[in-house]
Amino acid sequence: MILAVDVGNTDITMGIFDGDELVFDWRMVTISGRSSDETGLLILRFFEYAKVCTDDIEDVIISSVVPPVMYSLELAIRKYLKKEPILISESIKTGIINKYNNPYEVGQDRIVNAVAALKVYGGPVIIVDFGTATTFCAVSEQGEYLGGVICAGIKISMEALFARAAKLPRVDIVKPPSVIGKTTVESMQSGAVYGYAGQVDYIVNKMKEEVGQGAKVVATGGLARLIAEEAKTIEVIDRKLTLKGLKIIYDMNK
């Protein structure tokens, strides 16, 4: 079994692969101050719930965009799983040709997503990731990471409204009954859902003008399903895309 770990700004997602099958996955909040022992014990509790023995884990592969978390996470894996984790870096084989002007600027999660989308869905492909930021990535048929778009994430935008506008409340991000809200809460929810759906469709259509109209559009991330209900350009929802990419990269470098 292989443990794949994706460290994001909001959540740490972990998944266990048995062969090519993702058999278990879970999330925990990303906390920079969490100790290695706390992290290790959380992992063991997840394993206990899934009835997985630590001895069954052959290797661990990690992608991270949060450097402050890595020391305690790596230490936890060494101490509690007795494994030396494989870290996604610029030197690891991915099969992706990074065409960014400065390849080191591209977040590891975006490259991992590109690997998975290209392998599973083929190219050209556009990946929309609804994470802390909403990112759009374009990958050519030849496996070139062409670049993309970075926007403020939905939750960040809604929190900013709550923090900066005195009379606006914090609201759940759900689809309201209609576009035209009848209350302040419904109006804010409408802005979040329909506003971001419109953003997705516009950006994807503009990207297709450069990548090609035949590009497949794959969405991932926590709010992918909610926005995909309204965004006409999203064709596939794959919330496990990053974990799949980590397993593919592991197999390449095994």
Please give the positions annotated as active site. 109
CA atoms within 13 A on the CB side of 34: 22
Residue 48 CA: distances (Å) to CA of 16, 27, 32, 35, 133: 13, 15, 24, 20, 32
Phi and psi at residue 250, to the nearest 5°: -60, -45
The amino acid present at 94, given as its one-letter code, is T
Strands 133-139 and 125-130: antiparallel
Q: How far apart are the first and last CA of the chain?
A: 13
